[in-house]
Amino acid sequence: MVSSLRVVGGTEAMYGSHPWLVSLQNRGSHFCGGSILSDRWIMTAAHCFTSLVIVGEFDQRVHDEEEQVFLVKSVSVHEKYNPALPMNYDIALIELNQRIQMGARVQPICLPLPNENILPQTTCMTAGWGRIKERGRLPVVLREVHLDLVDGAKCKYVLQTLKGSMMNQRLIRPQPSMTVLCAGPETGGRDACQGDSGGPLVCPAGSEGHHWVALGVTSWGKGCGRSWGNNSSRPPSKRGSPGIFTDVRLLLPWIKRKLREGSVCKYLNVFLCLCVTGIFCGSVLPGPILLNNSHNATLLFSSDISRAGSGFVIRHHAVKGHFHPGCGTLVLVEDKASIHSPNHPQAYSNDCVLRWVIHAPLGHVVKLEFTDFDLEESERCLYDSLTVLGDVEGTEEIALLCGGSIPPPVLSYNSTMVLQFTSDSSITHRGFRATLTFIKEMIHKYDLVFIICEYEFFFIW
């Protein structure tokens, strides 16, 4: 019997030591892992089905400090995924319905470079909430285990012994398209096991191994923590295997193609701050960015495996006192504030674009309440307008406002709200003034109920 994988022979992890790890849950119970690639995308195994994703999870008995709950917007399973053992292309990407708010204990994992050379015997690590031994109990606190990479030729040979044992002892050569790697000691005792499928096998990379990359996706194995060095001398039911992981390096083109298909900027993204403030690509120079009441920022630059540009140069400086943003500015707001159009209560200028990106604390929504409002009125607000959006990319429109009447209060769908003020080349009015407040969102992961099919992933050869 071959089962999806869980941690065996490991130890309890330190809180926050695996900030990229997520828990995939059905009916309130963990059954698979996954890893954060970006604020919207999770990498997992193709054989993992879910409708609920928990990030920032550590102790399943309590609501952890940075824990966030998401529904699944879409799932992309590799087109060549084959559930017949040995499983090939066991990888999937999950798109979340909202954006993850990054923090000290919620961070994405790096992908390896296409030519990343991580040698056999390199000590890697996997983690999860799966069983601690074969047919053992499920832990409630995250556990981790260190596993050494197995030489590729030895990995293929072990797979031959397993496949042969199920085909009347005939050794069958693995398919040329094998997309797996192996990790774990020949003597057994340390392994990944049922419940950890989909989680990452992370390995040290770079010239001095100073950063972690997701080299593999936990896929399957024969037993849990069994020895496998002398498989050929054992009866089929007693044979074991190292942990079998999907080799992420081989599937990088597929991963990056799927991420590009779901991105507004398809080739180059720059994310500002742990909460996404802007996504920039192309050759048009972005306007200035004002980080209101914020003392630091993080820029995440990423490029794909094809075309390259000349890059970018950024200059930054501190602004003392109260600063009134002008047209062309992108403003980050992470605290309760009063905002207004340029020059208010005097007339705003022509051809003006000004954006505010508002991030409420975890578990809160944004409330926008107007105290003054006077924009040029037109059908469908074609000339001057204030657009209220639910995401940074501008795909979720909440309201489109213009005219001389004060609109009712507007609530965001989640913890992010984006405001975009636009004026055309003629006729200006007084503009608007509004206040931003944050309201606690009373939703807990255990309040969400789903009626779904239940799957168990056991494969008998």
Active-site amino acid positions: 47, 90, 197
CA angle 164, 170, 174 (to 5 degrees): 55
Q: Specify the 3-state DSSP secondary structure of 255.
A: helix
Report the DSSP pairing between strands 200-205 and 243-247.
unpaired
User: Which of 207, 139, 145, 217 is closest to 181 using CA atoms?
Assistant: 217
Nearest to 278 by CA among 323, 336, 330, 326: 330
Q: What is the dihedral of CA 429, 435, 436, 442, to 10 degrees?
A: -120
Q: How far is CA 412 from CA 103, 397, 418, in A?
A: 21, 10, 9
Helix (H, G, I), strand (E, B), or coil: what is residue 123? strand
Dihedral angle, C-alpha 271, 272, 276, 279, nearest 10 °:
-40
How many C-beta atoms lie closer than 10 Å to residue 392's C-beta? Answer: 23
Alpha-carbon distance of 256 to 76, in angstroms, equals: 12
Q: Which residue has the tokens 């690509």?
A: 281
How far is the C-alpha of 111 from the C-alpha of 114, rounded, in Å?
A: 9
Q: Which residues, in sequence order, are bridge partners of residue 162?
A: none
d(CA 145, CA 124): 9
Q: What is 326-340 written as a DSSP string?
A: -TT-EEEE-S-EEEE
DSSP single-letter state for residue 258: H
| Amino acid type, 350 | N
Rama region for 445: left / alpha / beta (φ>0; ψ in -120 to 50; rest): alpha
By residue count, the chain amounts to: 461
DSSP state of 19: T
Q: In a 3-state reduction of DSSP, which class is residue 136?
A: coil
For residue 123, give every residue at least 6 positions away whose Cβ sits within 8 Å of its Cβ, in sequence order, or none: 146, 147, 148, 204
Find, among 349, 340, 275, 356, the residue nearest to 39 by Cα.
275
* Angle, alpha carbons 142-51-80 (nearest 5°): 95
CA-based end-to-end distance of the chain: 7
